[in-house]
Amino acid sequence: MKTTYAVTTPLFYPNDKPHMGSLYPAIAAAVIAWHQKQMGKEVLMITGTDEHGQKMKQSAQLHGLSPQNHCDQMAEEFLKLWKLMNIQSDRFIRTTSPKHEAIVIEFFKRVDAAGDIYLGNQQGYYCVQCEEFKSEKDLLPDHICPIHTNRSCDWRDEPNYFFRLSAYQQKLIEFHEQHPDFIQPESRRNEVLNFIVQGLRDFSISRINLDWGIPLPTDPEHSLYVWFDALLGYITSLLETEDEPTLENATSKFYPIDLHIVGKDILRFHTIYWPAMLMSADLPLPKKVFGHGFLTKDGQKMGKSLGNIIDPYDLIDRFGADAVRYYFMKEIEFGKDSDFSENRFVDVLNADLANGLGNLLSRTVNMIHQYCDGKVPTLKPAEISSNHVLKVIGKDLGDRISILYEQIAITKACKECFSLIDASNRYITELTPWELMKTGDRPQVDEILYTVLESLRLYAYLMYPIIPTLASKIYIHLGYPEDHCDRAAFFTWQEAEWGLLPCGQLLPRAKPIFQRIIIQD
C-alpha cells in the first residue's frame, strides 16, 4: 500500500485578500490530510498562490504596488488566515519562486521536444479574470463572461504559442473510461466527458508583450500563459528544500498527487488540460480530482457590490476556528452549490457543539466526580455486550468514517460521527444513572458512564481532522495529557477502535468546551 499521500488546494490568485471561497477548499484539504496522517501515512498538504498573468499585474496597479510587492503582501494574508484556521499546510508554493521557474522551463522543453508546441495566431474574446479565451457561444450578451459578469471580454488578435490539446482527445477519453473515479463527484465527470467528446481545440500557452510571467525559453518576447505555468506549481511544491529544481527530484517521492481539490469553475483545466500536458511530458497523472461547488449567501451570489461577502476573519473572530471548520464541513455538502446563512450557522453550532456535545461531556464528567471519585469506572470493556447500543454504533464506526473520508464525503462523515453523540444523549436520558445510584445498581452505572465516555473519546478521534481544538479539549477532559494528540500513537488508525479508554484514569473537573452563542439584536 502507498505510504505517502499528497493533497492540494487550488493555487489561489492573490489579487486580493482570501475570502470564504478560498478558505473552503483549504479546510477540506486540511481535513483529508489529517485523516491520512491518522492512517499512518506520510502526508503533504499543498497550497499556495498563482502569481503571474495580466490579472495580477492589473491588481497590483490598482493598489499602487509592483506586481511582486503586491503578491508578497497577499501571500502573507493567505498564510495568516491558514494559521488562524489551524490549517497546517506542509508546502506553500508561490509561482514567482526561482525553483518554480526552473521546473516550468524544464517541463516546457520536454513538451516542446514531444512536438506538442507550435506558433499560431489567436483570435477571440478573452476574459482577464478567467485568464482564458472564450467561445462566443459561451458568452452572455455584449460578450460578458458568464462567471465574471462585471465586465465585457476583450477582443484579441495576436500571435500565441499553442499546445496540441486536440492530439490527446482520444487518449483522454480512454483514460477517463479506464479511471471512472478520477473525477468526483459523478456529476462533474459527466460535464467533463461531454466537453471532450464535442471536440478539443488546441489552447494558447503564451501571451505576447506581457512582462509579468515566465519568458518562453525559445522566444523571450512571449510569456507563458498563466495556466501552463500555474498547474506546474503542484509539481514544484513536491521539492524538498535542499533539492535541485528538476522534474526528476520533484517526482521522486510524493508524485503522483493523490487528490486535487478545485472549484468546479476550474475543473476543465485540471481534468483535460493538465492530464494532456502530463501525457505529453510522459509523467503519470494524478489519482483523483474533486470539483467542489459554489457558495452563496442568504440565497444570493456573493459580491462586494452587494455587500454580502462572507468574511472569514470576522467569523473566526466571533465564533472561533473550529466553529467555522465544523459548520462548513458538516452543513455545506462538498461537491454541491450551497447557501450560507448566519442564523443557520448559529443554530447548528448551538445544537451540535454547545448542547449535543458540550452538555454530554459536562454532565458525564460531573457524574464521574459525583459517583466514581473522578475516575473512569473500572470494568472490562471487552466484556461489554456486543449488543450494547453504543458499542453497536462505535465498534465499526472508524471503518465507516475512513471510507467516507476517502470518498471526500465529509458531510456524511460528520453526521455519522454525531450519531454517536445523539445516541449517547438518549442513552443517558433513558437509563437515568442518577436514579440507578439511588437503588445501588453501581455496575450498571459504571457501564453507562464508561460507554458514554468511550463514545466521546471515539468521536473526538474521528472528528479531530475537522475540529482539532475541540477534540483535544475532549481528550483532556477524559484524563489524557495535553500533548496526547501530538504523540506518534495518535497517528495510527488503531485509536479508532472501540474500548480503548483506560479504566481508573483520573478526570479533571468539567469546563465548557463550547459556549452557547447568543446573538445580540
Which pLDDT tens digit goes with each residue over 464-503? 999 999 999 999 999 999 999 988 888 889 999 999 999 9
Check residue 106 and give its pLDDT: 98
Q: Which CATH architecture has domain 342-496?
A: Orthogonal Bundle (1.10)
CB 475 within 8 A of CB 508: no
Give yes or no for residue 123 having a pLDDT over 90.
no
pTM above 0.85, yes or no: yes
Check residue 6 and give its pLDDT: 98
What's the mean pLDDT in 91-120? 97
What's the mean pLDDT in 109-122? 95
Please list, residue by residue across 270-288, b when 16 or more beta carbons sit within 10 angstroms of its beta carbon and e when fewer do.
bbbbbbbbbbbbebebbbb
- 3-state secondary structure labels for all residues of 258-316: CEEEEEHHHHHHHHHHHHHHHHHCCCCCCCCEEEECCEEECCEECCHHHCCCCCHHHHH
Check residue 308 and give its pLDDT: 67
Query: Binning pLDDT at 50, 70 and 90, where does residue 135 land?
Result: confident
Check residue 304 and give its pLDDT: 56
Closest CA to 25 of 292, 324, 257: 292
Helix (H) or strand (E) holding 45: strand 42-49
CB 223 within 8 A of CB 207: yes
Which pLDDT tens digit goes with each residue over 307-336? 667 889 999 999 999 999 999 999 998 888
Mean pLDDT for the chain overall: 92
Give yes or no for residue 151 having a pLDDT over 90.
no
CB 14 within 8 A of CB 78: yes
The C-alpha torsion from 250 through 255 and 261 to 264, rounded to 10°, is 90
357 DSSP assignment: I
User: Does residue 507 or residue 519 have the better pLDDT?
Assistant: 507
Q: What is the rounded CA–CA span in Å between residue 268 and residue 260?
A: 13
Please give the grid coordinates belonging to residue 288. Answer: 483523483
Percentage of the chain with pLDDT > 90? Answer: 76
Q: What is the rounded CA–CA span in Å between residue 140 and residue 143?
A: 6
Q: What is the rounded CA–CA span in Å between residue 172 and residue 186?
A: 17
Which pLDDT tens digit goes with each residue over 2-36? 799 999 999 999 988 898 989 999 999 999 999 99
Query: Binning pLDDT at 50, 70 and 90, where does residue 209 land?
Result: confident
Question: Domain boundaries in the chain?
Answer: 342-496
> Which residue shows C-alpha cell 471515539?
458
Give yes or no for residue 436 having a pLDDT over 80.
yes
